Structure 1
Amino acid sequence: MLANLSENDRKKVLLYSVLIVTVVGAWSVFGPYGALKYYGVANELEEVLAQNDQLRENNTALRQEITKLKKDPVYLEEVARREFGLIKKNEVIYEFPEKKKRH
């Protein structure tokens, strides 16, 4: 087919072919659904899945703490003392000032 064309026409066909291949290649890499967008979305998905796993672990720990608060009176007492400074009846708390470190 190209043999029937003149030298000038063959150059035009080759030029247009290279131009079309370049445009299609650039579009497939830089276009809205191109390779760069794909890799960006893949990385974002990976981050979201990792964050999801971390949140799932946090939820499990919180559920366990809720269960302990509901069913374990010793743990509940420990939390009340630690978080709210509560004391038992006839219990006295002594607070001593911290010693200053000498340099």
Structure 2
Amino acid sequence: MTLLITFGNRGVVDNYLMGERLALLKAENDELARQNKDLGKTILLLRRDPAYIESIARNELGMVKKGDVVYRLAK
């Protein structure tokens, strides 16, 4: 009977392992919630802030405005 309580289905060991898994899942959930919040902020900036859109276009996509002078350096 003692072995069944300790090692059986929903025994002490199983309960301990479930607790560890729960802690890992909670940490992962917290990280995903943080990422979701950051993405929400980015979405708002993309919808409402033309300067932010311009900075993304210039810095990440390499776009330039009409009239900008572009200097290309040879390697």
| TM > 0.5 | yes
- Aligned residue identity for 2:40: R
- How much does 1:48 deviate? 0.4
Identity of aligned residues (%): 33
Higher relative contact order structure (alpha carbons within 8 Å, sequence separation ≥ 6): 2
| Superposed CA RMSD | 1.2
Q: Secondary structure at the match of 2:60?
A: helix
- How much does 1:97 deviate? 4.8
| Equivalent residue number for residue 33 of structure 2 | 56
Offset from partner CA, 1:10-61 (integer Å, 9 cap, x none): xxxxxxxxxxxxxx11111111111111010100011001100100000000
For structure 1, the 5+ residue unaligned runs are 1-23, 99-103
| Equivalent residue number for residue 72 of structure 2 | 95
Q: Kindly report structure 1 stretches of 4+ aligned residues shifted beyond 6 Å.
A: none
- How much does 1:91 deviate? 1.3
Larger Rg: 1
For structure 2, the 5+ residue unaligned runs are none
